[in-house]
Structure 1
């Protein structure tokens, strides 16, 4: 394989292992380094600066961060600890490749030649040449001669193939490396990451296998937790990521990610505990601030939630639609309705294709008595969603919106009142049509038609719908309150029509459901008295 990749590919290739013979255990830091998590890697390595291996990896990190002065200091320090160390020597020479490629490359070749059977040294030399766009095949050949099944060689080859967009071939190399060393974190994790979007179950199986052999691998724990999260297995993600947080050296990003996983797992109290600790450290951690706001809303602690929301809106610069949605919900709950409306409109500007925001906005407008705009907004949702995507609950909500709006109008606005009640009835009819065995559509049609009937119920507009409610609810006995409502209407209707025997049957049915119902007892007593006295 003859390859001269550019420096821009280097970050992708970082994982190729260096097999070293240093004394101290920098395993966790090196694992972080291989997967570009420089923050926690540095945190560990800086505590171990008297070790040449730690100095080498610190040099590598600073080099990749384009801080070559700092990199040079650590390579030099590593050589002061062990003057014969080939890795720090290669590191120093690598920095010189920019200014004096010829001399620096000779230094690296000389070091590699004197450690011909050391696979780690050969790969370090290969990476140094690769980063400068030089051919590195000779170093790779030396490594293969030492042991062509060494997992570190296979990983390096996989990295080169991946950088050349030969994904299938790269995966084959990582799989070979994993088979060569069943506890090789790097091989398993790289393989799993490639397949994460294509076959997440396979990725999870690979990482489970790795963790059975190497349960202390923090990167494996982190990676599998994120796979669980990305595939909707939030409870499992929270469990594994929590272990990673406790055992590792989490960055603020890691902790924020954990908070998000807890929120998706509906572990709202745990989110708040995490937020309390993190916000004490950094009150301007806006990720934790927003997660606290969201969680307090879900826990119905609206006054506490609004405090976090006010702080977020005042101090944050970059908002996501969910910020405005949750803040709007909180504002609505504490009756700051006009502000809530403004927040939902902000959310729509950021995410105009999120149709659920239309429903939230319509509810806020309804709460503020802005019925015309609320109805217009909800109908916009129906139109944009399309009839195939509108749920039964949406038609129910639309009908209830029309019903509430019409109920606020008096006889001076009779035409509009009638228009809105008719629109409500149409929406509830759709509910009944789509769910014919559920009482709810008929119940709301009954309520709506009762509102449109004369005060003496002479038209009996609601009667067939209440009778259907009775038919359905007598069969399942699950909603006694609504059943009593239906009996009450029917009893009243037949009473006003002077069909006293039929009327009394409905009042007696109410007592079968609620033996202490006061109105039913009064009607029965009154009707019996009228029958006895022969009152027509």
Structure 2
């Protein structure tokens, strides 16, 4: 009997050691972003020993990383019944509370978990801090305060230092983050993420050459560590955005590194989705459509795949697929809808509203599209930067009223990259829409055009043709004095540029327009001035019939 008891104890110890090894393996897989592998490992641990509460907690975390909140919640709740470390699962449930905006409930659960810890333990503090950092709306100050308690227990523990680095980085304290990451790696040189994060700091400082060199150091240490290739991809993406003339080259580099990321993680649906997100950033919509269809084969019901299909279908001109995919995604009820979802749905309806002849417009579809674009801008103002090209497309199709409706939304954001051009095209779209034969003049819209041209002048006073456009608009508004003033400002700008500018045939034709229209305006209240400006026209074009005829009338 005693021998049997001894063997039982020995067997139990062996199982405990094995489970600890498996948990460490799962933690390494999570760190390496091999989430499918980690899920398989953790499910095996739970199946073999349902009393292992930390396994439930880590599995719930993986579900949260993959944005599967329902599965995460069920896993945490199951983990509360485990014999060992069940209290960790309250931390996971607390993060879900944070995601739902219930901070009070989250803090209650965090406190309950911490109250269950043993005297010398500090892991609970790290996990709570990470819950604050990983929440949909991170609270880095709360994370740092929580980590101070862990520091009291063991301030030199590498995982504490790594968590400090992440919290300082999120709190935009780059110097403190650098020290924490450096110290974490020095304390444990197997902590490859800490070494990688030193490169992330350089990327954030736009020191792209140095960042790539830092990542190469990680690759040299561990060439199969997947996350470093994701960081290389993102670094080359930002590098391409910030270096004129290198975007195509660096985006190609970025996409190559993202493929290496997939190769060194697990090609799971979650990894593919991160890849799909990156393809959106780099605007590789052909590849996105291929990736979306591969993901659909893996999981036909995952709603995010509808988003990727919608985006890629829009960009590839398949508006029916885009509309049906995005309507299904937005209408899913529980899906986290972002501004781009409404944006692409809106643009798809706008593009579909244009008839095959390029002239007729389905007003119902167009108005529906405008409503979604407005909703997108309400959710995230920065999407206005991508409205302009569609507005210009409509403008070039001579669909001026529709172009103006879209460009008016684009110009609501003065910080938009295309603010100047969007205002210019908005003003011209309204102007040309009001010069169509038989049109009833819309003075309210023309006043908007005048304001739009004024915005261009304020931002770029040397843009000479905008003064012509503003003068023409005020001519339609029958404001002779404003019309004369803006034509004169055009004349002043081109005259200042010298004889070479004045000799250009296009400029000469515009000067004739200025003089003739100004003269016609002056004729209403200053006939000598009117004669003077018709004479200016004849000095440039002695055979100008309008000026000759008008002078004849004025001289009677």
Q: TM-score normalised to the size of structure 2?
A: 0.52
Higher mean alpha-carbon deviation, 131-140 vs 337-346, is at 131-140
The answer for the alignment partner of 1:240 in structure 2 is 254
Q: Deviations over 1:271-315 (max 9, x none)?
A: 676678789976995576457656769xxxx99981399686577
Q: Aligned-pair RMSD on alpha carbons?
A: 5.7
The answer for the alignment partner of 2:138 in structure 1 is none
How is 1:58-457 mapped onto 2 (pairs within 5 angstroms)? Answer: 59-62=57-60, 70-71=75-76, 73=78, 89=84, 91-92=85-86, 94-95=88-89, 104-106=116-118, 124=123, 127=126, 136=150, 140=154, 151-152=158-159, 154-155=161-162, 158=165, 168-178=175-185, 184-194=191-201, 196-198=203-205, 200-201=207-208, 202-230=210-238, 232-233=241-242, 234-235=247-248, 236-237=250-251, 239-241=253-255, 243-244=257-258, 246-247=262-263, 248-249=267-268, 250=270, 254-255=274-275, 257-263=277-283, 285=306, 289=310, 293=314, 306-307=351-352, 318-320=375-377, 321-322=383-384, 324-349=387-412, 351=413, 354=416, 355-356=419-420, 357-369=422-434, 376-377=447-448, 379-381=450-452, 383-384=454-455, 387=458, 389-390=459-460, 392=462, 394-399=463-468, 402=471, 423-424=486-487, 426-427=489-490, 429-431=492-494, 433=496, 435-436=497-498, 439=501, 442-451=504-513
Structure with larger Rg: 1
The answer for the alignment partner of 2:332 in structure 1 is none
* Structure 2 stretches lacking a partner, 5+ long: 1-18, 92-108, 132-145, 319-346, 354-364, 378-382, 436-440, 520-533, 545-556
1:72 and 1:95 in contact (8 A); partners too? yes
The answer for the alignment partner of 2:324 in structure 1 is none
1:292 and 1:305 in contact (8 A); partners too? no
Deviation at 1:447, TM superposition (A): 0.5
1:175 and 1:187 in contact (8 A); partners too? yes
| SS of aligned partner of 1:105 | coil
2:450 and 2:473 in contact (8 A); partners too? no
* Structure 1 stretches lacking a partner, 5+ long: 1-18, 34-39, 80-88, 110-121, 465-488, 494-536
**Relative contact order (C-alpha < 8 Å, sep 6+): which is higher?**
1
Cα distance 1:397–1:164, how it changes in 2: closer, same or farther (>3 A)? Answer: closer
The answer for the alignment partner of 1:502 in structure 2 is none
Q: Deviations over 1:177-212 (max 9, x none)?
A: 445666743103433445554454454543343234
2:391 and 2:406 in contact (8 A); partners too? yes
Deviation at 1:251, TM superposition (A): 5.6
Cα distance 1:294–1:332, how it changes in 2: closer, same or farther (>3 A)? Answer: farther
2:147 and 2:160 in contact (8 A); partners too? no
In the comparison of the two structures, how many residue pairs are matched? 394
| SS of aligned partner of 1:21 | helix
The answer for the alignment partner of 1:117 in structure 2 is none
| SS of aligned partner of 2:117 | helix
Cα distance 1:416–1:344, how it changes in 2: closer, same or farther (>3 A)? Answer: same
Q: Deviations over 1:252-282 (max 9, x none)?
A: 763453233223xxx5655676678789976
2:87 and 2:113 in contact (8 A); partners too? no
Q: Deviations over 1:325-368 (max 9, x none)?
A: 4543344344443233222223344x256543322311321331
1:22 and 1:52 in contact (8 A); partners too? yes
Structure-1 separation of matches of 2:371 and 2:117: 56
Q: TM-score normalised to the size of structure 1?
A: 0.53
Structure-2 separation of matches of 1:182 and 1:134: 23
Cα distance 1:242–1:75, how it changes in 2: closer, same or farther (>3 A)? Answer: farther
Structure-1 separation of matches of 2:254 and 2:224: 12
Structure-2 separation of matches of 1:184 and 1:158: 13
2:295 and 2:305 in contact (8 A); partners too? no
Deviation at 1:390, TM superposition (A): 0.6
Q: Deviations over 1:454-473 (max 9, x none)?
A: 9xxx9574766xxxxxxxxx
2:26 and 2:38 in contact (8 A); partners too? yes
1:126 and 1:140 in contact (8 A); partners too? no
